[in-house]
Amino acid sequence: MPDIRTLLAQAGSSLDPVTGAISMPIYQTATFAHPALGQSTGYDYSRSSNPTRAALESTMARLDGAAASFAFASGLAAISTALSLFNHGDHLVVAEGCYGGTQRLLDQVFSRFGLTVSYVPVTEPDAFAAAINPHTKAIIVESLSNPLQEVPDLPALAQLAKSRNVQLWVDNTFLTPYWLRPLELGADVVIHSASKYLAGHNDTIAGILSVRDAELASRIGYLQNAMGAVLGPQDAWLTLRGLKTLALRLEQQQSTAETLAQWLGQQPFVKQVYYPGLPEDAGHRLLKQFAGGAGAIVSFEVDSVGTLARLIEQTRLIAYAESLGGVESLITVPALQTHANLAPEERERQGVTETLVRLSVGIEAVSDLIADIETSLAGYASKR
């Protein structure tokens, strides 16, 4: 297989035999004409398949090393479709600290259909093993927990899943196939919120499922068509466009994140930094064993709500907004945004405090980002 940087640069590229165009067109059509009775071009209706979406799906299958990949209207649409594989009475083991939207979906929606969930600490493989029961169908983890960036032992979990005959699903939004290919470690399903790093420009909502086994892929393909939460051609094209620069963006973003994490760790207003790219981080050594990078999300806890408010309200380059992975740096308060649906005591138990900040590092100059943070707090430290 070519280097992943080459695959990314060529994402969706295919010389048109008539015009010679090298960029995948946007096939903005709902339906396709048939050449004759009983004949089809291979495309019938865009919910079932669309050439632009198909180009994205085949590209993601190559990037993830999957039997097949499927593109959806959002990351949660992808997860919802995959969860529809299960039946009343089935059980899942899910890592604590997962994306708040995933937990809301499990606890408030699929629980009504009889799907049960056990949440276990992400860094304790033995806890996953203990939680498996005869009804367990899958283990679900994120390659890095959100927002504390805890590192799961993916090789150990893959071995556990295989030994207990359950599936392993990995949400790889934070690391992407550029830094990590979970299917190669033994995962069965990989989930991406393609709205984030894959598309990369804060202008697209999309989700991807990549599946290792052809039989399971066939089942998910059926559900994709049956449930209909598919990605439209415009957003498929934007995601393909974003993939072409993924390697360049991630290298820059990770480099800046490392510098910012080191700088934040030296600031008096910061109580704790969570970034597995730092050698002193609890998950650093484990992550290096199976991933090529630590990503570009830096979470940190500040010393007071007042400091938090200054950061949110006074920064000018760094926008206060949900989401992550785009070229612009964004700051998020998980307790008020991504994890607001959790009870306060549950947030505290998971370490999602009211003074925790999640910083999605963009491609700006690191000196300007540091200056933006410093300026936002100028004159405030002496008043505390």
Whole-number pLDDT of residue 225: 98
At 106, which helix (H) or strand (E)?
Answer: none
Quote the CA–CA distance of 332 and 322 in Å, as a whole number: 6
Q: What are φ and ψ of residue 170, in 5° steps? A: -125, 120
The structure tokens listed for 359 are 């910083």
Q: In 3D, which of 281, 274, 363, 351 has the Cα closest to residue 317?
A: 363
Name the β-bridge partners of 138. Answer: 92, 167
Whole-number pLDDT of residue 382: 44
Q: What angle do CA 89, 134, 286 make, to 5 degrees?
A: 105
Name the β-bridge partners of 331. Answer: 320, 359
Quote the CA–CA distance of 178 and 3 in Å, as a whole number: 10
Q: Which of 43, 47, 219, 288 is catalytic?
A: 47
pLDDT tens digit sequence for 37-83 = 989 889 999 999 999 999 999 999 999 999 999 999 999 999 999 99
Q: Which of 64, 90, 171, 281 is catalytic?
A: 171
- DSSP character for 112? G
Single-letter code of the amino acid located at 182:
P
Residue 3 appears among annotated catalytic residues: no
In angstroms, the first-to-last Cα distance of the chain is 57
Residue 171 appears among annotated catalytic residues: yes
Same fold, 4-241 and 246-377: no
Q: Which of 27, 53, 64, 99 is catalytic?
A: 99
**Residues present in the chain in total:** 384
Whole-number pLDDT of residue 20: 85
Q: Which of 62, 181, 196, 244 is catalytic?
A: 196
Cβ-based neighbours of 248, under 8 Å, separated by 6 or more: none
Determine the topology of domain 246-377 in CATH.
Aspartate Aminotransferase, domain 1 (3.90.1150)
Q: Where are the domains of the chain?
A: 4-241, 246-377
Determine the topology of domain 4-241 in CATH.
Aspartate Aminotransferase; domain 2 (3.40.640)
Whole-number pLDDT of residue 348: 79
Please identify every stretch of the chain with a pLDDT value under 70, giving residue numbers as ranges. Answer: 379-384
Count of beta carbons in the 10 Å neighbourhood of residue 227: 14
